[in-house]
């Protein structure tokens, strides 16, 4: 069975938690896009693990794969491997495989990301991890790949070719051109350590599927941050939708059995860009404080707002979800009235689907319906009938309006705080 999980909003939907919950049923968990701009928090046995690169299934027996469509900062990966080892979780080459073609985030990518962002008149609010510039080099065919890191002469040959262009670009943006050749010794040392982890991800996954094994493709960021279909230019630099898992992991689309969308009971966004239902008031404060809505990667406060059905409907289309996981329902507890955005108003017209252009999305005025809230604590609920009637009505209405079954509901960060609906 091949399952894909993606975020249905702007990232931070709680994918890590859902992957962690499902991982015991899978033989392989694979990351297919993004890099350490992602941050997933897994809470298990009283310990909180904040991961950026290693797939969320790390605490189970599943084999973990980092696919060639990702961009990988080797220093961050080494930090994660040692943090996990300190907590008794050994990430050996039997446990983790990294595709030979995975793009490496070099120090110059990180410098260029920050320098370029500082010069933008309209900021994107990137995570400053060098993600966009690593992808630019992949598309521009100037990337450094995992295999290069493990082969000194290959890496040095490539850098010799690439460095003059990076020096010029960094200098033009007012940075230190020395960065273009910096950090190579450290990267080569890491390359030696990571060499045994190198694998052919597509080959491994296809073989596993032929043997009847279960493979879970774990998305990072969220649908509306997709480089093609998202709210450009306020997006990340990779394709975050489900189809990208097939292309990036090298698996045929006919192999896909389940596509799970993870969606919060409200909406958040970190960084710039349109967010029609944003609440810059006490409701936004409630969601941020109760939901712990601060970025895992950057610590930035997330922008918070009411559930946005037009955006959710677009996610259903873009991903073809077969079911959804609704997360953080408990965060809504204590609000007297819940507003649900069922459409937008733009230039006197009513819309039930987001306009294509970001500028237009930014001008949309949300149209809400009011729903009654609840005050009972739901964090101990173990099944759907355990939650108050108003909470059940909210979930059932979302399900009906999105037209996709909500299979899982999460009511807290812990492993036991998710039930099947
Ligand atoms: P980049 O991915 O660092 O280039 O950042 C581009 C945009 O995507 C910024 O608005 C980031 O805040 C956002 N972004 C990137 N990764 C994540 C994520 O994992 N969760 C939420 N937002 C993200």
Q: Containing domain of residue 250, as a range?
A: 2-99+197-260
29 & 148 share domain: no
Q: Reduced to 3 DSSP states, what percent helix, strand and coil does the chain have, rounded to the nearest 5? A: 40, 25, 40
Q: How high is the pLDDT of residue 268? A: 98
Q: How high is the pLDDT of residue 73? A: 98
Q: Identify the CA nearest to 224 among candidates 334, 303, 103, 311.
A: 311
67 & 111 share domain: no
Residue with tokens 């399900």: 399
Distance 37 CA to ligand 1 centre (A): 6
Specify the CATH number for the domain of residue 185: 1.10.300.10
The model's pTM: 0.96
- For residue 289, give every residue at least 6 positions away whose Cβ sits within 8 Å of its Cβ, in sequence order, or none: none
Q: Across 128-213, where does the E strand assignment appear?
A: 198-199
317 & 383 share domain: yes
Angle (nearest 5°) at CA 80 between 77 and 84? 145
Q: How high is the pLDDT of residue 59? A: 87
pLDDT in tens, the chain (421 residues): 999 999 999 999 999 899 989 999 999 999 999 999 998 877 777 788 889 999 988 888 999 999 999 999 999 999 999 999 999 999 999 999 999 999 999 999 999 999 999 999 999 999 999 999 999 999 999 999 999 999 999 999 999 999 999 999 999 999 999 999 999 999 999 999 999 999 999 999 999 999 999 999 999 999 999 999 999 999 999 999 999 999 999 999 999 999 999 999 999 999 999 999 999 999 999 999 999 999 877 888 999 999 999 999 999 999 999 999 999 999 999 999 999 999 999 999 999 999 999 999 999 999 999 999 999 999 999 999 999 999 999 999 999 999 999 999 999 988 889 999 8
Query: Residue 84: CB within 6 Å of ligand 1?
Result: no
30 & 150 share domain: no
229 & 351 share domain: no
Q: How high is the pLDDT of residue 52? A: 94
Specify the CATH number for the domain of residue 78: 3.40.440.10
Query: Residue 36: CB within 6 Å of ligand 1?
Result: no
By the 8 A CB rule, do 41 and 16 touch?
yes
Given the residues 20, 27, 36, 40, select the one marked as catalytic.
40
274 & 375 share domain: yes
| Count of alpha carbons within 13 angstroms of residue 19, beta-carbon side | 33
Query: Residue 238: CB within 6 Å of ligand 1?
Result: no
287 & 361 share domain: yes
Q: How high is the pLDDT of residue 236? A: 97
Ligand 1 closest atom vs CA 298: 12
Q: What is the number of domains present in the chain?
A: 3
Helix 107-119 and helix 131-139: axis angle, to 10°? 110
Q: What backbone torsions phi and psi does residue 415 show, to the nearest 5 degrees?
A: -60, -35
């Amino acid at each position: 069975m091949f399952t894909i999980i993606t975020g249905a909003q702007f990232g931070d939907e709680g994918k890590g938690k859902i992957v962690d919950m499902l991982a015991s049923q899978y033989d392989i968990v694979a990351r297919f896009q993004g890099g350490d701009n992602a941050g997933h928090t897994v809470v298990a046995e009283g310990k909180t693990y904040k991961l950026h690169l290693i797939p969320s299934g790390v605490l189970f027996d599943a084999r973990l794969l980092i696919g060639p469509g990702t961009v990988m900062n080797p220093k961050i990966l080494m930090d994660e491997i040692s943090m996990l080892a300190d907590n008794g979780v050994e990430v050996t080459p039997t446990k983790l495989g990294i595709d030979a073609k995975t793009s490496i985030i070099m120090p110059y990518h990180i410098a260029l990301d920050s320098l370029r962002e500082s010069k933008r008149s309209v900021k994107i609010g990137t995570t400053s991890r060098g993600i966009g510039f690593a992808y630019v080099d992949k598309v521009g065919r100037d990337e450094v790949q995992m295999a290069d890191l493990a082969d000194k002469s290959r890496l040095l040959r490539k850098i010799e070719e690439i460095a003059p262009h990076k020096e010029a670009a960094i200098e033009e943006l007012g940075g230190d051109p020395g960065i273009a050749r910096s950090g190579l010794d450290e990267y080569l040392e890491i390359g030696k350590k990571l060499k045994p982890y190198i694998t052919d991800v597509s080959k491994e996954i296809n073989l596993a599927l032929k043997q009847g094994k279960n493979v879970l493709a774990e998305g990072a960021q969220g649908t509306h941050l997709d480089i093609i279909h998202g709210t450009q230019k306020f997006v990340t630099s990779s394709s975050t939708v489900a189809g990208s898992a097939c292309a990036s992991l090298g698996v045929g689309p006919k192999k896909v059995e389940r596509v799970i969308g993870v969606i919060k009971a409200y909406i958040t966004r970190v960084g710039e860009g349109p967010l029609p239902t944003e609440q810059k008031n006490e409701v936004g404060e409630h969601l941020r404080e109760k939901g712990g809505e601060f970025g895992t990667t950057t610590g930035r406060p997330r922008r918070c707002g009411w559930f946005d059905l037009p955006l959710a409907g677009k996610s259903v289309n873009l991903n073809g979800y077969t079911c959804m996981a609704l997360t953080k329902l408990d965060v809504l507890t204590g609000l007297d009235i819940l507003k649900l955005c069922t459409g937008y108003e733009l230039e006197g017209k009513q819309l039930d689907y987001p306009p294509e252009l970001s500028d237009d999305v930014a001008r949309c005025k949300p149209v809400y319906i009011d729903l009654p809230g609840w005050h009972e604590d739901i964090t101990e609920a173990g099944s759907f009938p355990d939650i108050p009637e108003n909470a059940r009505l909210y979930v059932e209405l979302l399900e009906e309006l999105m037209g996709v079954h909500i299979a899982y509901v999460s009511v807290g960060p812990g492993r036991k705080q998710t039930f099947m609906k």
